[in-house]
Amino acid sequence: MPSISNAWIVTCILLSLPIHFTISAAVNPIPINGTCHDTCGTISVKYPFGSGFGCGHPDFARYVRCNAGTLEFSTGTGIYNVSDIDYSSGTLIIRDPFMSTCSSMQNSGSFSLDRASPFTLTGENIFVLLGCSTNSPLFDPAEDLCAMGSRSRVCRGLYSCKGVTGIGLPQNAPPSTCCVYESPIQLAGYTLDLPKLQCSSYTSVYSFGGSEGDPMKWKFGISLQYNDSYYSNVCKDCETSGGLCGFTGFDQSFACVCENGKNTSTSCFGQGYAWSGTRESKILNKLSFGGLLLLWLLISI
């Protein structure tokens, strides 16, 4: 029997290489940046939110992220801590570190909510502007920007706090420089411009904590409603398989992020190219062994 030439052996080996590389590419999809987690500090992180870029839904990733164990919410006016997320009601509470409370009042910046964001203010928020100039447009009778009925109750409660000295007012000062701010919050976007309104600070009360007469028990923060219509069957399948829903690529297409850090376009179950690292290793080992066996048979002919 004539022997097979070296060129023919090399050709056979080269022909076997594309199979190996093709399968390797299928079971090793491009990973997203970092690894997704289901918690950030003590807060549970579920879809559409994510612990970092590439996790959760892309429309939310630009606003919410986990930074050194702290879940943060970003807008054009600053970065705020997320103190709670209620997934059953689709709401989250954010805290402005410079926002006044009963125990501590200070000069604070403005607050805005991006018009294009998937967030809106809930009706529970009561925005209160403190230390305002008596010439502020808030007190223009034609504008009617302050809720006069609740102004006396809420403003007097806040001005009874010892923290009011932090904005240069005596405790129990007249509420003439305070405004319970009413704004068309049903519109997309929201802006609270303190310099324009000539006020030194603001706060937001989203709950009186069952004690309207004791401002120390009031819950301070900004309550936001988020759009929860992003959840889909493909994300549900991903979560059922133990993965976390995310996105990848320039087109920000859906990705199911598995525990081993790899991502698939479906789920983490052993189907398609969503293979675990163990199964992948076994398959590649079998292919490598098959290639060596083929080479040995060709040389021995």
Q: Does residue 37 belong to any structural domain of this protein? A: no
The yes-or-no verdict on residue 86 having pLDDT over 80 is: yes
Please, which pLDDT band fits residue 301 given cuts at 50, 70 and 90?
A: low
Q: How far apart are the C-alpha atoms of 85 and 159, rounded to whole Å?
A: 30
Q: Does residue 39 belong to any structural domain of this protein? A: no
* 82/291: higher pLDDT: 82
pLDDT in tens, 185-199: 444 467 888 999 999
Domain of 159, in residue numbers: 76-226
**What's the pTM?**
0.75
Residue 127, CA distances (Å) to 56, 143, 146 in order: 30, 17, 10
pLDDT average, residue stretch 250-258: 90
Cβ count near 188 (within 10 Å):
11
Q: Does residue 70 belong to any structural domain of this protein? A: no
Q: Does residue 282 belong to any structural domain of this protein? A: no
The yes-or-no verdict on residue 19 having pLDDT over 50 is: no
| Number of domains the chain is built from | 1
Q: Does residue 276 belong to any structural domain of this protein? A: no
Percent above pLDDT 70 for the chain: 74
What is the model's pLDDT at position 147? 81
CA gyration radius for the chain? 29
* 181/173: higher pLDDT: 173
Residue 22, CA distances (Å) to 185, 248, 261 in order: 54, 20, 20
* 144/168: higher pLDDT: 168
Q: Does residue 243 belong to any structural domain of this protein? A: no
Q: Does residue 235 belong to any structural domain of this protein? A: no
- Range list of H helices, 144-244: 148-159, 194-197, 233-240
